[in-house]
Amino acid sequence: MTPERRANLHRLLKPRHIAFIGGRDATIAVNEARRRGFKGQMWAVNPKRPDLGGVTCVVSIADLPTPPDAVYLAIPASGVTDALRELAAMGVGGAVCFSAGFKETGDGAAEEALIEAAGNMALIGPNCYGFINYIDSTALWSFEHGGWSPGYGAAIITQSGMFSSDITMSQRSLPLAYMVSAGNQAVLGLEDFVETFAEDPAVRAIGLHIEGLQDIPRFARAALAALERGVPVVALKTGKSKLGAALTVSHTGSLSGANELYEALFARTGVISVDSPAEFLETLKYLCVVGAPEGPNVAGFTCSGGGATMLADHAERIGMPLPEVAPAAHKALSDLLPDIATVSNPLDYTTPIWGDPERTFPVFAAAMTAMNADAAVLVQDYPAAEIDASKIYYQRDAAAFARAASQSGIPAAICATLPENLDPETRMFLIGEGVAPMQGLHETLNAMRSAALWAETRRHCAAAPPAPLHPASPSTTPVMLTEEAGKAWLAAHGCTVPDGRCVSAAEVAAAACDIGHPVALKMMSPALPHKTEAGAVALNLGDAKALDAALRRMIADVSDHNPHAVTDRFLVEAMSPPPLAELIVTLRQDPQFGPSLMIGSGGVMVELLGDAATLLLPTTAPEITRALQSLRTARLLDGFRGRPKADIATIAAALHALSEAYLKEDSTLLEIEINPLFVTPDGIIAVDALLHRVAPT
């Protein structure tokens, strides 16, 4: 944002006066501003109506008494550009453009004209619902809305107007600071709002509903700035799709598409990625009410064996640590519990002491200490209103739990197994006690784990800030080189490749004798990206007779598969020793995200397993190590069933060196896929390679 637009955005979000321009839709916005509690000056512009919702109309924009801080614009699309130009010229702060009929309908030219007309105004939209400022009781909003704020909360920016409206109506007691429906993001994008809200002391977390980002490097900078300031960003990415880049012939398309690149971006910048609207809201609620824990260890409490089992099951599924009670504290805790209770984590403290805070508080406090807990959760499903005589007992335990967590200095959550079993009165009671009122057991544990991982990422990025993302190169036409060219590039940059010769059919036998049997034989043709499927690969050829038979069969098979692919160029290679594991490694260029590194389980199972991790570049050897350790095949690298261990640090260093070499050529070298990459006890061997360069002009 320019300094002028930044100042105008603050005027728009915290206006002294608002002008409503339009008819019926503008009248609704007038009513919503009043209902939110706006106390400033309101004006209306409509040449045919005496008033909008009781606000007296002037005939034209020029008749406004002073340039308003904020404008709500709901007029036909044909008049929007002229109106914005007039508003910008008179010095208006910003506008919400409810009007539709621009880029979303395919009219990019109309949107470009709108952007030009807006100048340095802060413009939300077009094709949006607007914004709600819960802190200062301001709304430029297009429909009835709900939501509440205790003076702090989440700032949520969505790319769907209806979803933003749904969130304001949600029955989850999420504290809200701001709601923005960003629409087409013609002028103000998600990045602008992240930058602005991360600096607002009332904002404890930022929620983003993302269909797509316009400026990846700028988003990364904004997200990292929020991380540095201690403001968590939670993202619900929708519209997940397959690879959008030009290269579609490699296996990478099924392993590192647009969604994987988004997840790599989120992991790099500390953005918490969630999978559902419920998890989105519950994670924001947890962060806003109690904040992120300092570590991952969770103390779980229930008054039901079934609840304890469900807690333990999902905690194990998502890798959430539930530390055992320290042996030294076991007897003391056991003495505080009824005889039927078993000391464990999660701890079922059982019904004999239920609702008796004189007995439950010591249990909660001692257990949190004995479990070395960084956070705590208590499962409570409250009774329905018509049978709420027992609610007081639940509340007593809740208050005791809250006091124990406060004494321990850790964030606390009370979780209803079923989301509807936490009524509005109870939710507000728990927030008043300093406890996050969480709805849904899985959503609760996911939120707690995500919050702890966010805190860990923040510490990691503070110690080793990520380098700026490498810029993307323009989309170009790729040309596939044959395998020996790809391996020559790899060998030149320190990657081991099998000893091989590229020869004619007549020279195959001599090359094999020179290398020594057994050998592999491959036909080299730029028309064969996947040689195995075409019959263009033969392995473990132990003598000249087997080699000759394989050569004849290969020529026949490729002729049947694709006659135009047949060549008289063959690669004869030494067979590599059996590996500890097979990986796939790809360095590629995406037109939006720029260069990336993908590492996954390789070989013939690559697409079946779908086991891969993606990193945006530049990256570091420690990040590559973490990516390798995140794979399911990592067990094979760690001495599975007594086999030798791989030297993961050496592998990571080699892949980091390749990624650095690729960055130096990424404007002309579009993609390198190594599959399989054999992992041996001593290092790595690139057994097959597919390389694409920019087509010559």
In whole angstroms, give the CA distance from residue 609 to residue 601: 7
pLDDT band at 255 (very low <50, low <70, confident <90, very high): very low
Give mean pLDDT, residues 113-142.
Answer: 96
Residues 6+ apart with CB under 8 A from 552: none
pLDDT digits (tens, 9 = 90+) for 528-579: 877 888 999 999 999 999 999 999 999 999 999 899 999 999 999 999 999 9
As a whole number, mean pLDDT of residues 415-424 equals 95
| Neighbouring C-beta atoms of residue 250, cutoff 10 Å | 24
Rounded to whole angstroms, the Cα distance separating 138 from 149 reads 12
Q: How high is the pLDDT of residue 473?
A: 82
Q: What is the pLDDT of residues 426-446, one digit of tens each?
A: 999 999 999 999 999 999 999
Q: Quick one: average pLDDT of 32-36?
A: 96
Task: Look at residues 527, 476, 521 and name the one whose alpha carbon lies nearest to residue 503.
Answer: 521
| H or E stretch covering 264 | helix 258-269
- pLDDT for 452-505, tens place per residue? 999 999 999 999 999 999 988 877 788 888 899 999 999 999 999 999 999 999
The pLDDT assigned to 477 comes to 82
pLDDT at site 596: 95
Query: DSSP 3-state assignment of 482?
Result: coil
CB within 8 Å of 689: residues ≥ 6 apart: 483, 486, 487, 489, 490, 497, 672, 673, 674
4: Cβ contacts below 8 Å, ≥ 6 apart: 120
Confidence of residue 247 (pLDDT cuts 50, 70, 90): very low
pTM of the model: 0.92
Which CATH code for domain 581-694?
3.30.470.20
Mean local confidence (pLDDT), 150-156: 97
Query: Residue 450's closest CA among 234, 613, 298?
Result: 234
Residue 264 has pLDDT above 80, yes or no: yes
* Residues 674 and 585: beta-carbon distance below 8 Å: yes
**Model confidence at 354: pLDDT above 90:** yes
Domains 292-463 and 581-694 share a fold: no
Q: Is the dihedral of CA 248, 252, 258, 259 positive or negative?
A: positive
> Domain-by-domain residue ranges, the chain?
3-288, 292-463, 499-574, 581-694
Confidence category of residue 606, pLDDT binned at 50, 70, 90? low
* CATH level 3 topology of 499-574: Dna Ligase; domain 1 (3.30.1490)
The whole-number pLDDT of residue 106 equals 86
Beta strand spans in 146-279 (E): 153-158, 176-181, 203-210, 233-237, 272-274
pLDDT at 472: 86
Q: Domain 3-288 class?
A: alpha beta
Q: Tell me which DSSP letter residue 475 carries.
A: P
Q: Which CATH class is domain 292-463?
A: alpha beta
Tokens of 684: 């790595």
